[in-house]
Structure 1
């Protein structure tokens, strides 16, 4: 059980060997020609690659000082706030309760122990496969549209599961499998949106001088909210009820659609340097990618 984890570890290792070095890391070490080669491969246009190298050199000339910048600069505080908000949204979608307590959820829906364990495996498989949607379309559809679509699907999924649990699945095969179908729809919605895209956005919206500090704050928030959701789920089931707990998470996801529209920028095709310039110029958060 523990040893089999080495298999994906080996796959990750082989994948890392194929990754190019970061252009910023190369420029920082004076290897501009190699940095240009990497950027040219990524961007596909020589002029764009040279312009980005110039921007990188300009930014690397600045001294990093995340906490000092956080205290002194209100615009940087906005980007840290956005990273914290994104990670909070990701965890309060309810994904952790589905992944941690899948056997209990299948039990509540009326399935036996064996079916619950198989259901847990299916949840993990759907989660992995659906992530490929994000890989294939994030740079075609954009971050915001995919986030909004994901939150809509997750809202519908959680609300429907709660409604089916409220009226009871009983001996109805249709109701039980309907609950499972909507639960898996929720997983699909998360896996192509909030799951991967929140991490992308958290790295894109932080300025270079404070990127380490900003990402540290957002990552801390991720695990703090993960703990809160994990610790409270069973208590919620036992106090407010099964259906009401899923309705609560449906309401969270619906609210996150509004927060995405109000605060989250579209960063597709925009360089990190341009995002930083827009942020520091005081543009609204949802427009720093324009």
Structure 2
């Protein structure tokens, strides 16, 4: 609660309600080290102003109901991805792991120790996703993680039901596999979906490329690409423009 006092207001909301100077200052603090004249700051500010102006002039419904009507499938995908990230059984393991281990046969400090080992492996399981997320894609990671989690959770229940001598060790292994599969898939990936669902290819290309150019102060290519994209030229045609350095384009796209 104390930390929330220092959180700045959303620059988009500030600009939307006419407090442009405050919005520019927030963007400058985030991207330009406090310098409102920084190219990245100006690019981000202009983009937000243009988008807000476009929405106002379109006269469309800007409520949540209007968003649902226009982007029903996108909203459903964004919401369901985060919902299923919480409805897959992870909270049982996260909150009640010591009790689960105790019921499986680990008593007292041993149950706490198994919980600690499980947490460390869970943390480490998030690291491979940094490399695989853009190689395998989001869907493949989510589906593979879901399969492993389902099998591990079912196996956990079966081992606890039969209650044999191997149950304590088997339950720990199954829970660790379940937690690691979540950390690799449904833990981080659903957070990528909402922004990617609502980001159009043209906007994605413009943001990523212009930011890289602005950081390098490559104003010629930056201005050329900005003008081309805002004029409505498809991304596939932008790649072949003679006045754009295609090697740098391929590096960042």
Query: Does the pair score TM above 0.5?
Result: yes
Work out whether residues 134 and 193 of structure 1, in 8 Å CA contact, stay in contact via their aligned partners in 2: yes
Report what 2:177 is aligned to: 185
- The answer to whether the 8 A contact 1:161-1:179 is kept is yes
CA drift at 1:175: 2.8
Question: Can you give the 5+ residue segments of structure 2 that lack an aligned partner in the other structure?
Answer: 1-25, 206-253
**Structure 1 stretches of 5 or more lacking a match?**
1-20, 37-49, 209-269, 275-290
Q: 1:121 is matched with which residue?
A: 116
Q: Does 1:144 align with 2:139?
A: yes
Q: Does 1:92 align with 2:87?
A: yes
TM-superposed CA distance for 1:207, in Å, is: 5.5
Q: Identify if the C-alpha distance between structure 1 residues 195 and 188 changes in structure 2 by more than 3 Å, giving closer, same or farther.
A: same
Distance 2:48 2:188 in 1: 25
Q: Distance in 2 between matches of 1:66 and 1:158?
A: 46
1:75: which partner in 2?
70
Structure with max Cα Rg: 2
2:27 and 2:45 in contact (8 A); partners too: no
Greater helix share, structure number: 1
Q: How many residues end up aligned between the 2 structures?
A: 174
Give RMSD over aligned pairs. Answer: 3.6
CA shift digits 1:77-128 (9 cap, x unpaired) = 3322222211220111111110100100001111111111011111211111
1:6-25 → structure 2 map (5 Å cutoff): none
- Please give the secondary structure, in 1, of the residue aligned with 2:54: coil
Residues 82 and 31 of structure 1: CA distance in aligned 2, closer, same or farther (over 3 Å): farther
Shift of 1:131: 0.6
1:175 aligns with 2:170: no
Where relative contact order (Cα < 8 A, 6+ residues apart) is larger, the structure is: 1
1:33 is the counterpart of 2:39: yes
Contact preservation (8 Å) 1:127, 1:191: yes
TM-score (norm 2): 0.57
